[in-house]
A and B are shown apart, each in its own frame.
Chain A
Amino acid sequence: MVDAPPGSVAAAARAAFLARDLDGELAVLIADSRAAGDRDYEPVRASDIEPAQGRWLLSFSGGGVQVDMEVEEHHGRLRLIGQLLGSSDADCFLDSAGGRRLVEVDELGRFIVADIAPGPVRLRCRSVDGRVVTTAWVTV
């Protein structure tokens, strides 16, 4: 039917192949406070708060690294606040439609990335034993 995808969608689809990661290990999403039926984060919610308005927390694990982060929205832009466990503090990047940007990680593994446009994102970091670990893509 006539409802064809915009050209930008086709262009982005072709460019997705550039995201291929041959050397990285995958940290998969292990918890999502906004997934249906995910109870892992239940205790952090006050019982009188509608789940719809609860905080949005994501956890990834794999390749010797664990990432816990919260997604916050502010005027249509997003901010990620989180902590990396098992990663070295160097070489951490955020991939998004806007490209790749360096993520500053402090000595405790904490990080903040602000001003992210909604869309698919992933983190790419190096574990303490030198392996490259990439979180699974998640649409924020």
Chain B
Amino acid sequence: MPEPDVTELVDRIRRGDAGAWQLLTDRYLNLLWSIARGLRLNDADAADAVQTTWLRLVENLDDIREPKRIGSWLATTVRRECLDIRRRTARVRPGEPETPGGWDGLAATTVDPLDVALLRDERDAALWRAFHALRPSCQRLLRVLLTDPAPSYAEVSAALDTPVGSIGPTRQRCLKCLRELLAQDAAFLGEQPPAADRAPAEDSRGEGRATR
């Protein structure tokens, strides 16, 4: 079934079509979730950030000027909500230690509560070990890039507040790091490195995404 284009979806939503709303939320939910989780919000805060983003879209439906860029609008909105929530919770908990390196420092020391559930088998475990050894900025980028359905580069740019032109090269560098970490991990454990298809699907995500 061909996916309806987002401009058409927004048009239908504006006319009150709840089915179109469901298609739109299904399409972008994973992206919004990955952005919130990439910013190291816990489940409850990530859920609030995502929900406020949907409510804000409903609130501003008639004011969205470029419906075809709705994904980027959503990505920017959820990122800002996450920043707001982080700032407010940081202030509600005054005893929290100042982490060196700001967010990246904090991200490096925060345990991801979902990780335990993610470690389904040895290969996943190895992949996630390597993933968490990456720079936090790489982790954020890969989380967002690996969202299903795959986001456009414009949406990734909005999600991470980074120029579109830097996404491709940064992604290459991050994947190279990930491969090296996996190889080191395997060497340390005296195993064969995980098969290439276990690494994030580089080949299926060509640079053509940028012009989707």
Taking Cβ atoms with an 8 Å cutoff, the residues of A that contact B are 1-6, 8-10, 12-14, 16-17, 19-21, 26, 34-36, 50-54, 56, 73, 97, 118-120, 122, 134, 136-139
A120 to chain B, nearest CB (A): 4
Asked if B44 is an interface residue, CB under 8 A from chain A, the answer is yes
Asked if B81 is an interface residue, CB under 8 A from chain A, the answer is yes
CA distance A39 to B60 in the complex (A): 26
Contact yes or no, A8 B47, CB < 8 A: yes
Smallest CB gap from B26: residue in A: A10
CB contacts (< 8 Å) of B50 on chain A: these are 5, 9, 13
Contact yes or no, B51 A13, CB < 8 A: yes
CA distance A118 to B85 in the complex (A): 11
Of A9, A16, A35, A50, the residue contacting B94 (CB under 8 A) is: A50
Smallest CB gap from B144: residue in A: A1
Cβ contacts B174-211/A at 8 Å (1 or 0 each):
00000000000000000000000000100000000000
B1 to chain A, nearest CB (A): 19
Contact yes or no, B49 A20, CB < 8 A: no
CB contacts (< 8 Å) of A5 on chain B: these are 29-30, 33, 46-47, 50
CA distance A26 to B61 in the complex (A): 12
CA distance A54 to B88 in the complex (A): 11
Contact yes or no, A12 B58, CB < 8 A: no
Indicate the member of A35, A54, A137 with the most B CB atoms within 10 Å.
Answer: A137
Contact yes or no, B43 A19, CB < 8 A: no
Contact yes or no, A2 B118, CB < 8 A: yes
Question: Would A14 and B25 be within 8 Å (CB), given that A20-B61, A34-B87, A53-B94 are in contact?
Answer: yes
- Among B60-83, those with CB < 8 Å from A are 61, 81, 83
Contact yes or no, B87 A139, CB < 8 A: no
Contact yes or no, B87 A12, CB < 8 A: no
Question: Would A54 and B30 be within 8 Å (CB), given that A8-B47, A139-B49 are in contact?
Answer: no
CA distance A35 to B142 in the complex (A): 29
Contact yes or no, A6 B58, CB < 8 A: no
Smallest CB gap from B82: residue in A: A139
Asked if B143 is an interface residue, CB under 8 A from chain A, the answer is yes
Between-chain CB contacts (< 8 Å), 22 pairs: A2-B124, A3-B118, A9-B47, A12-B51, A13-B51, A16-B51, A17-B21, A17-B58, A19-B59, A21-B58, A21-B59, A26-B59, A34-B88, A35-B84, A36-B83, A36-B87, A50-B94, A119-B48, A120-B52, A137-B55, A138-B52, A139-B84
CA distance A74 to B49 in the complex (A): 21
Contact yes or no, B51 A9, CB < 8 A: yes
CA distance A19 to B124 in the complex (A): 40
CA distance A58 to B85 in the complex (A): 14
CA distance A64 to B88 in the complex (A): 29
Asked if B157 is an interface residue, CB under 8 A from chain A, the answer is no
B134 to chain A, nearest CB (A): 13
CB contacts (< 8 Å) of A51 on chain B: these are 91
Contact yes or no, B33 A56, CB < 8 A: no
Smallest CB gap from B84: residue in A: A139
CA distance A8 to B33 in the complex (A): 12
